[in-house]
Amino acid sequence: MNNTIDNTKLAGVLKTLDKAGRLAAKRFLESPYFNSSKELLVLYKEILRLQEKNKPLDKVYLWGKIVKGNTYNDLRFRKYCSDLSKLMERFLAQQAFEEDEVQQKVFLLKKISQQEQKADKLANSIVTYSDKMMEDYPYRDTSYYLYQYLLQKSYYELENFSTKRGVKSNIEEISNYLDWFYLGEKLRLITEAESRKQLKSHEYKLSFVSEISYLTKKHFTDLENLPHIEIYYQIIQILSETEADDNYYKLKDLIAKNAHYFPRDVAVDELYGAAQNYCVKKINLGERKFLNELFELFKLQIQQNILLSEGKLSPWYFRNIIVVALRLGEYDWTEEFINEYKSHLPEEHRDNAVTYNLAQLYFYQKKYNLVIQQLQFVEYDDISYNLNSKTILMATYYELDEIEALYSLTDTFRTYLSRQRKLKRLPPSKIEDYLHLIRFIRRLIKFIPGDKNGLSKLKKDVKATKGVVNANWLLEKIAELER
């Protein structure tokens, strides 16, 4: 018999609760409306106490706390755990319900409509309040149209329109909101499936894809001022067409005007994310003007104050913005951006992110001594920072003609990569990409200006080798030696 409940659903759920959640759950269990068992409250408190001390959730010990003086009964103890687990599920559902004011009104209207004696004054008050609430609803994404559909359906049931054949009902509103919800949500799911297909080559069988696209295109002018439909339709165009620049510019314009109608995460990840991915695809095809477009998309998010999520900025996003700005020569802008947003980085990643990105800035500014000051004695916990910082350091030593330091670094870097290979912390292909860089740098520093045949062979090898890290920099240095 397993003597603990550490790996049970109940223990897992309780472990996810933060301080506020634990207090709210305690109040929930103390309410006689939800729970009449004192034993379950004791069991809840004791499990939390043991979890906070990282002690095992011993069954016999817990039994002794809730049923004092009785011999352990496994069947009864499992029943206590099952009952508490169900109450925790109900608590989480109750929390979600209380956070969704619209759904509260929908269920309230439904309950009023089901009663034989309707509370007319209450119903009228709720209808008026719900209408005002939806006027003030901050978003115009699919959730808005779903809520409107549910509320309109509740009004229909409240008025008992099904029995009032001679009275004009709100069936038109019900139908319109349902159509606008369905069409927008379906388009959103199509874009999600297409994005995943392109990223991971996963296939999804969605119904009515061609029909939805046809209907949207046919009625597009009638769907103006419905940004959740317009935007996702344009995303589908840039995902499904090879040359879709016109659709990209339409999408960019729509997002710029309507991003505030969507929750922040949706606006950044889905809407701006789709536009950014299109720019990256075009940049990889050699169309440099889309580097400017990508930078514009980042700046739009800053202007619209949606870059931060709960006051925090992802270190990955922070770095991507800086890379694009540096490639465009926006050095002053980059420095201002680092200084303004570094305090918004998660504290555990802040030092690494700031140190590395400042080093990047100094490298582009050709302040090579400052690069070395930033990176020479830093060993990052994060593998990607380690790889990138060593890459920048190698290029810096080359620019300063510090050949001995460069040889030493290539040796230590190779050892580091070998260690990562043994620990299986990096894919073999990624390790090879960095090893190619090391090999080409060591070949590069052996050349003297004017060795055209050797340099031509090196250039050919760099171009022919797939995935070489910092390949553009290598080609630039080869070109300098060829002059």
Per-residue pLDDT in tens (0 to 9) along the chain, 483 residues: 579 999 999 999 999 999 999 999 999 999 999 999 999 999 999 999 999 999 999 999 999 999 988 899 999 999 999 999 999 999 999 999 999 999 999 999 999 988 877 788 898 999 999 999 999 999 999 999 999 999 999 999 988 888 888 888 999 999 999 999 999 999 999 999 998 887 776 788 999 999 998 999 888 888 888 999 999 999 999 998 878 999 999 999 999 999 999 999 999 999 999 999 999 999 989 899 999 999 999 999 999 999 999 999 999 999 999 999 999 999 999 999 999 999 999 998 898 899 999 999 999 999 999 999 998 777 677 888 899 999 999 999 999 999 999 999 999 999 999 999 999 889 999 999 999 999 999 999 988 777 888 899 999 999 999 999 999 999 999 998 887
Rounded to two decimals, the pTM is 0.86
Q: Token pair of 65, please?
A: 């706390």
Q: DSSP H helical segments within 201-329, as ranges?
A: 209-218, 227-240, 245-258, 264-265, 273-284, 289-303, 315-327
Nearest to 75 by CA among 83, 232, 343: 83
CA atoms within 13 A on the CB side of 336: 7
- Angle, nearest 10°, between helix axes 101-114 and 120-135? 150
pLDDT, position 115: 83
Taking CA atoms, 76 is separated from 59, 72, 87, 141, 388, in Å, by 11, 9, 17, 48, 58
* Distance (Å, whole) CA 393 – CA 371: 7
* Distance (Å, whole) CA 353 – CA 358: 8
Question: What is the four-CA torsion angle of 276, 281, 285, 290, rounded to 10 degrees?
Answer: -10
pLDDT, position 429: 93
Phi/psi of residue 4, nearest 5 degrees:
-130, 165
* Distance (Å, whole) CA 375 – CA 367: 13
Nearest to 150 by CA among 212, 187, 108, 99: 108
State the distance between the two ends of the chain, measured CA to CA, in whole angstroms.
Answer: 78
pLDDT, position 162: 80
pLDDT, position 356: 93
pLDDT, position 1: 56
- Angle, nearest 10°, between helix axes 315-327 and 347-364? 10
* Distance (Å, whole) CA 28 – CA 5: 22
